[in-house]
Amino acid sequence: MKHLIAPSLFLSLLLVACSGPKSFRSLDKEEQAAIKHYRKLVNTKDGRYHVLIMTSQGNMVVQLYNETPLHRDNFVSKVRAGFYDSLLFHRVINQFMIQGGDPTSKYAQAGQPLGSGSAPGERIPAEFRTGEGIYHQRGALAAARDNNPEKASSNCQFYIVQRQVWRPAQLDSTIAQRGLTLNDAQKKLYTTVGGTPHLDGNYTVYGMLEIGFDVLDKIAGTKTLPGDRPESDVRMKMFLLNERRK
């Protein structure tokens, strides 16, 4: 079942995000109800952070990997502070990914180019964990970045991989064309689950979608303008569902 955002909550997405940490009591009834609902659906005692991403197209929940602590802690701190609230998924490519987190998107006018904004502070050093089985599978939460030799990540922009399964012959052709080196686990993953193998070892994956693959597909399938910005704005709002327990 799709858990679409209530009209009153959608209007709240248009408000300016608070500058400090959000308390549960300060949230409206729809937000509180959504948090309680999704807390029941995920394992909040598994030692990982879980984040609810509410959007004007529906709700998603991601878990954050402890294996990438720099990216995890950066994302959590921004969620706590309300940094992402009212920002857009500003770049959407069907059968690839959906991207958001550009702070300039909050007040962006129609047709305004987006994607170059960043938060105060430095880039985040790359945390590639392919050796630990963390790949760009369908649903992977990863950090966007500019073209820098260290492959360091943006300190705010992220994307969620939407690409569905590859046919074996199709994957083999892509491996040959791009000169990729994939192990058996990656090949099995991309031909059964889907994903974007050419991004492995180039962009840091630091989380995984748990709930809301239908919403991911809905956002990815949104009609877009030149530059891959959706014709109709897709706004977000984020909440921590739990505090990490060691």
Q: Is residue 176 part of a domain?
A: yes
Q: What is the pLDDT of residue 27?
A: 87
Structure tokens, 43: 């394992």
Q: What is the pLDDT of residue 133?
A: 95
Q: Is residue 1 part of a domain?
A: no
Q: Are 147 and 202 in contact (CB under 8 A)?
A: no
Q: What is the pLDDT of residue 199?
A: 97
Measure the CA–CA gap between 50 and 195, rounded to whole angstroms: 21
Q: Is residue 246 part of a domain?
A: no
Q: Specify burial of residue 81 (Cβ count, 10 A radius: 0-12, 13-18, 19+).
A: middle
Quick count: other Cβ atoms within 10 Å of Cβ 106? 17
Quick count: other Cβ atoms within 10 Å of Cβ 67? 14
Q: Are 41 and 240 in contact (CB under 8 A)?
A: no
Residue 63 pairs with which residues in a beta bridge? Answer: 50, 208
pLDDT in tens, the chain (246 residues): 333 333 333 334 333 333 456 677 788 899 999 999 999 999 988 999 999 999 999 999 999 999 999 999 999 999 999 999 999 999 999 999 999 999 999 999 998 999 999 999 999 999 999 999 999 999 999 999 999 999 999 999 999 999 999 999 999 999 999 999 999 999 999 999 999 999 999 999 999 999 999 999 999 999 999 999 999 999 999 999 998 876
Q: What is the pLDDT of residue 2?
A: 32
Measure the CA–CA gap between 100 and 88, rounded to whole angstroms: 6
Q: Are 154 and 144 in contact (CB under 8 A)?
A: yes
Measure the CA–CA gap between 33 and 52, rounded to whole angstroms: 12
Q: Specify burial of residue 244 (Cβ count, 10 A radius: 0-12, 13-18, 19+).
A: middle
Q: What CATH number is given to the structural domain containing 114?
A: 2.40.100.10
Q: Is residue 245 part of a domain?
A: no
Name 11's Cβ contacts closer than 8 Å, sequence gap at least 6: none
Q: How many structural domains comprise the chain?
A: 1
Domain that holds residue 142: 7-19+27-240
Q: What is the pLDDT of residue 5?
A: 35
Q: What is the pLDDT of residue 60?
A: 98
Q: Are 51 and 61 in contact (CB under 8 A)?
A: yes
Q: What is the pLDDT of residue 14?
A: 39
Q: With CA atoms as reference, report the closest residue to 235 among 10, 7, 33, 3.
A: 10
Q: Is residue 2 part of a domain?
A: no
Q: What is the pLDDT of residue 25?
A: 77
Residue 209 pairs with which residues in a beta bridge? Answer: 62
Q: What is the pLDDT of residue 3?
A: 36
